[in-house]
Amino acid sequence: MKCLKLNLQFFAGEKTEKATPRKKQDARKKGQVAKSADVNTALSLLAVFLSFLFIGAFMRDRILLMMKGTFQDYLLLELTDQNVHDFLLTMSYQAVIILAPIMAIALVAGILGNYLQVGFLFSTEVLQMKLNKLDPIEGFKRIYSIRAIVELCKSLLKISFVGFVTFAVIWFDMDNILRLSQLAIEQSFLFISTLTVKMGLFASAALLFLSFLDYLYQRYDHEKNLRMSKQDIKDEYKKSEGDPLIKSKIKQRQREMAMRRMMQDVPTADVVITNPTHYAIALKYDESKMDAPFVVAMGVDLIAQKIKEIAQSNDIMLVENRPLARALYEQVEIGQAIPEEFFQAVAEIIAYVYQAKAIERN
């Protein structure tokens, strides 16, 4: 029996269940999302090489202008501190003009890659310092773990696949490459730039394909790491819905408060209709509140006895009517007016009570 209990506890703690929406939301707040860095890299490379098709001429002209200025204006200048300073400023300015569009395109592509994977997410959790990351033992475990081996295999696959695609592009243009020595400098430069863009586009497309597969793996691994045990799900349910023991105590307290309020309203009743031992229904007629008599308190057994004791101590008349008491208890709630079918019977009882009180006063 003890072994069976231990086995049940073991299986209850095994993480075999999918993560709940709340668990996924909490993980997202901590920055734990399914994301592949290769998607950002592939999109950035693809965007950059595609941009060469549109801004390549602009970059070519700026590079030629920079080289022309270097040879014409600065090559024979006297070497002084001021001349070197002016030369570095000019070259830096020219380099910024050439590289700024490429950097901007890469930045936008990187942001787009992140947004496509995780949407808008801002979390400082990953920036917090964690001392356990400085533990050499934990670091050794991370280096020589199954995940590290998987990452190594992925890197080798990416290098091999992208290298093969790039080599294929070069191989199909091998005849033109071998004829480069026969071309003019301008034609050679144009061919090399065209070949470079072609290699970049094919390599980026290959990397994008691999990054899509990597994203699927990262998503699977993320879901696997977020798996919960049956006990985890029960604990989360208790946190979200509340501990059943606490909820029962709250309901009990609410019933006690409602009972006290009900007992406080008994002295305001006009009459209490009894069974006589099992039921007690306290009725009141107030034209300013309702057009018909309404129930201010009701109960059975011990509660009925308590209602009758309070009524007697406050000189409220008890009227025995077994069918009426049972029918009112089953069909009317506290604070509700009595149904129309009971008007005549209740009106006769209240009229009798008013007459009896009038006689007592006289």
C-beta of residue 49 within 8 angstroms of C-beta of residue 207: no
Contacts of 108 (CB under 8 A, 6+ apart): 47
Q: Which two tokens stand for residue 289?
A: 């509140």
10 Å CB burial of residue 181 (0-12, 13-18, 19+) is exposed
List average pLDDT for each run of 10 residues in the chain, which is 362 residues long. 43 66 76 80 89 84 82 76 83 88 89 82 64 61 69 85 90 87 81 87 90 86 80 70 66 74 80 81 79 82 83 82 83 82 81 78 66
| Crossing angle of the two packed helices 146-172 and 185-225, in degrees rounded to 10 | 160
Rounding to the nearest 10 degrees, give the CA dihedral for residues 75, 84, 102, 180.
Answer: 20
In terms of pTM, does the model score above 0.85? no
Q: b/e per residue, 59-78, with b = 16+ CB within 10 A?
A: beebeeebeeeeeeeeeeee
Give the position of tokens 């231990």.
6
Rg (the chain; Cα; Å): 43
Picking from 198, 207, 229, the residue whose alpha carbon sits closest to that of residue 14 is 229
* CA–CA dist 353, 362 (Å, integer): 14
DSSP 80: -
| Crossing angle of the two packed helices 322-331 and 343-361, in degrees rounded to 10 | 120
Structure confidence at residue 291 (pLDDT): 76
Structure confidence at residue 9 (pLDDT): 45
Contacts of 298 (CB under 8 A, 6+ apart): 279, 280, 281, 282, 307, 328, 329, 332, 334
239-246 contact pairs (CB < 8 A, 24+): 240/22
DSSP-derived secondary structure for 86-102: HHHHHHHHHHHHHHHHH
10 Å CB burial of residue 160 (0-12, 13-18, 19+) is exposed
Query: Residue 279: beta bridge partners?
Result: 300
Structure confidence at residue 238 (pLDDT): 67
Query: Residue 228: beta bridge partners?
Result: 17
